[in-house]
A and B are shown apart, each in its own frame.
Chain A
């Protein structure tokens, strides 16, 4: 009994190890960048909702546009759109990485780590470039 516990310190009700066990798993770049792909993809819905609301207001009337534009260009709007811009570039690069993985390449650890860093650094660079281009 004691031996069994020592052999499987992390066990579910069925006695099998639970996986993935985030609390004891050492953080690595490929893991972090994979999780960020999902987080950015879902968080983007906030930016899309604000953008679509702003478009609807522009299509409706001057007074409605004034309200939506005030929100979209406020500090809150800047926060949502700047965050969404980084999120969309991150998700973009991570998506390209997935397409590359799907073709059967880049699965070895050194390459996967480099691709992870490319997503993190590349997304920040593209965000800055986009802000400079559109301002």
Chain B
């Protein structure tokens, strides 16, 4: 016996059955990245090609270290969710599940590796 009426189960969920959470999360991370990315591109671009001691000095400073950490965590979450949407568009069944698990895992591995490198340089 279903205790919820069909309307109650459907309301606010939309065709994706998950409501607008995914869309809203992408919106929030997009706005965050819009503020973070331009300055990060400048800092990273300046460091790229420099000798190792200059690179170490750069990422030991609070602003480059915190900014890079934020770009990595927010950016890789944004990537994982965007890639999940793409996979949902093109793949089905077990392939879809395996690909989604793969991109989410890859995103965390990249973020964790970057954070480890930052911790080693900054601390």
Contact = CB atoms under 8 A, between A and B. Distances in A.
A55 B37 contact: no
B27 A73 contact: no
A65 B18 CA distance: 45
Interface string B97-119: 00000000010001001101110
Contacts of B70: none
B113 A95 contact: no
B48 A72 contact: yes
A134 B72 CA distance: 20
Contacts, number: 90
Contacts of A92: 33-34, 37-38
B45 interface: yes
Contacts of A54: 48
A114 B122 CA distance: 44
Interface string A70-103: 0011000000010001001000100110110010
A49 interface: yes
A52 B30 contact: no
A99 B52 contact: no
A41 B56 CA distance: 29
A56 interface: yes
Contact of A42 (B41, B45, B86): B86
Contact of A99 (B27, B44, B83): B27
A58 interface: yes
15 contacts: A38-B82, A41-B82, A45-B79, A45-B106, A45-B110, A48-B79, A52-B72, A52-B114, A55-B68, A55-B117, A59-B117, A73-B48, A73-B49, A134-B42, A135-B45
Interface of A: 38, 41-42, 44-45, 48-49, 51-56, 58-60, 62, 65, 69, 72-73, 81, 85, 88, 92, 95-96, 98-99, 102, 130-131, 133-135
